[in-house]
């Protein structure tokens, strides 16, 4: 039985299949990973664990071409971006290796009354389950595994069914770097099997990046069994244009913000909210720039966008565009599909009763909205179930911060795109989930912040 396979989205060919783990083997793996926690967390110092994670970073760099080629096959990411993702993952591991001791250092508390002292000591909680998506196969794992292995937690990792080869390659890296075999275990498990893992009392927490439906199911299970959970569930991020003295630069940023990973990024700019005085020029320039970019062979270093990740992904986007047009939206330019290759497109005239107004479009399709004021821009930006990221472009710094304060999102980027960093927290609000990854906030999700109070 198998749910896991490498199906090249550029060709549609199934290249390799992987057997799903048996129930007995899964039960044994949970036991081994839970038992490994004591020796990994208590048997090694923070510095020793950090040295192992530093080696994980080094091996990612040493193998970056091979790792990049794997995800080109699995989910169609253009090779230059694929290698870049591996490098970013390595930087995450390096960050946690460099900062492990500081991030886990005791935190003193100033006492208001009484004598003595008090402090918070951070320590691991045990075995964690990670459920990862296909769109950033290495980066997503690094956000979860990097801090938690440094802390001393052990990990079972269920990757997306279309990413079994990259999942196996990462497990090999962890073991080659010195992470004990049972402290990081890759599993090819079904959803029913994962439900049993979440219910297992030896599992102390769950982190999932994926769809809202998957997040709701995992959160319900985790809540029923009193497990901490971190969820990152996607978004429909607004890109707000309020004041511009160089509209061409704004358009360039808009194109880049929409097309990263062939438009299949949770925090990509998806809804472009443009003040009336710039709207016509923006639509003309943006449409021209976006539709000049054609999908191409993901193995070529010249390719900017490749195929969508799967036939199912292409089918869904095609249906969303059709439904949007049937409901009154206007296709300004672009569109069309050849196999899993989807051409860039720009949609306008989307009204609140159009299904497209509240949906996340995962692919190279942009929505553009006209607004008459800053207040209207904020209302439209917030009129979404999601709240992951957002982008504000204006030459007025006071306006930028004023708008940022009112945006209902976990992240606001002002006059920049692609500015994520290993030290910056990543996460959202509303239907985009809860919890944070990366930076020091990424180390605080699955730790025991133990109070130690010392009397006189």
Known catalytic residues? Answer: 232, 266
Q: What is the rounded CA–CA span in Å between residue 131 and residue 342?
A: 27
Q: Is the dihedral of CA 61, 65, 68, 74 positive or negative?
A: negative
Q: Is the dihedral of CA 22, 28, 34, 40 positive or negative?
A: negative
Strand order in the sheet with 154-158: 184-187, 154-158, 127-131, 203-209, 228-232, 433-434
Tally of CA atoms within 13 A in the half-sphere of 393 that contains its CB: 26
Contact between 258 and 366 under an 8 Å Cβ cutoff? The reply is yes
Render 66-90 in DSSP notation, one character per residue.
HHHHHHHHHH---HHHHHHHHHHHH
- C-alpha angle 406-425-238 in degrees, rounded to nearest 5: 40
φ, ψ of residue 278 in degrees (nearest 5): -105, -10
Contact between 143 and 438 under an 8 Å Cβ cutoff? The reply is yes
Residue 427 to residues 96, 234, 438, 456: CA-CA distances in angstroms? 18, 9, 9, 42
Q: What is the rounded CA–CA span in Å between residue 398 and residue 252?
A: 23
For 319-346, give one letter per residue: b (16+ CB within 10 A) or e: ebbeebbeeebebbbbbebeebbbbbbb
Burial of 47 from C-beta contacts in 10 A (0-12 / 13-18 / 19+): exposed
Q: Is the dihedral of CA 412, 214, 362, 280 positive or negative?
A: negative
Nearest Cα neighbor of 156 from 20, 34, 40 is 34
In the block, residue with structure tokens 């980027």: 413
Q: What is the rounded CA–CA span in Å between residue 182 and residue 33?
A: 5
Contact between 12 and 159 under an 8 Å Cβ cutoff? The reply is no
DSSP single-letter state for residue 321: H
What token pair was written down for 205? 């927490």
* 437 bridge partner residues: 426
């Amino acid at each position: 039985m198998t749910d896991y396979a490498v199906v090249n989205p550029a060709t549609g060919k199934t290249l390799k299949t992987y057997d799903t783990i048996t129930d007995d083997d899964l039960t044994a793996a949970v036991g081994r990973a839970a038992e490994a926690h004591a020796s990994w967390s208590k048997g090694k110092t923070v510095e020793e664990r950090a040295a192992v994670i530093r080696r994980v970073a080094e091996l990612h760099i040493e193998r970056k071409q091979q790792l990049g080629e794997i995800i080109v096959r699995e989910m169609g990411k253009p090779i230059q971006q694929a290698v870049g993702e591996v490098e970013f993952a390595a930087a995450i591991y390096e960050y946690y290796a460099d900062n492990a001791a500081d991030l886990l250092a005791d935190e003193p508390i100033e006492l208001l009354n009484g004598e003595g002292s008090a402090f918070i000591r951070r320590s691991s909680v045990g075995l964690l389950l990670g459920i990862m998506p296909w769109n950033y196969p290495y980066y997503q794992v690094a956000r979860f595994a990097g801090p938690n292995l440094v802390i001393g937690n052990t990990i079972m990792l269920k990757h997306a069914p279309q990413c079994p080869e990259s999942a196996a390659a990462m497990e090999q890296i962890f073991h080659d770097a010195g992470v004990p075999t049972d402290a990081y275990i890759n599993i090819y498990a079904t959803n029913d099997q994962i439900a049993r893992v979440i219910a297992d009392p030896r599992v102390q927490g769950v982190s999932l990046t994926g769809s809202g439906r998957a997040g709701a199911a995992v959160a319900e299970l985790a809540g029923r069994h009193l497990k901490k959970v971190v969820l990152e569930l996607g978004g429909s991020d607004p890109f707000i244009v309020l004041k511009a003295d160089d509209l061409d630069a704004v358009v360039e940023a808009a194109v880049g913000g929409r097309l990263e990973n062939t438009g299949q990024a949770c925090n990509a700019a998806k809804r472009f909210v443009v003040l009336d005085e710039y709207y016509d020029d923006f639509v003309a320039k943006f449409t021209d720039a976006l539709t000049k970019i054609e999908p191409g062979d993901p193995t070529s270093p010249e390719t900017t966008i490749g195929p969508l990740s799967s036939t199912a992904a292409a089918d869904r986007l095609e249906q969303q565009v059709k439904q949007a047009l049937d409901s009154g939206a206007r296709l300004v330019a672009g569109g069309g599909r050849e196999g899993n290759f989807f051409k860039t497109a720009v949609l306008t005239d989307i009204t609140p009763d159009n299904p497209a107004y509240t949906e996340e479009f995962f692919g190279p399709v942009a929505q553009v909205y006209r607004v008459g004021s800053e207040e209207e821009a904020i209302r439209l930006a917030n009129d979404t179930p999601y709240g992951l990221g957002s982008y504000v472009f204006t030459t007025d710094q006071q306006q930028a911060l004023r708008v940022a304060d009112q945006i209902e999102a976990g992240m606001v980027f002002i006059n920049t795109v692609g500015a994520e960093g290993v030290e910056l927290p990543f996460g959202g609000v509303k239907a985009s989930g809860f919890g944070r990854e990366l930076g020091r906030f990424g180390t605080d999700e699955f730790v025991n912040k133990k109070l130690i109070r010392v009397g006189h």
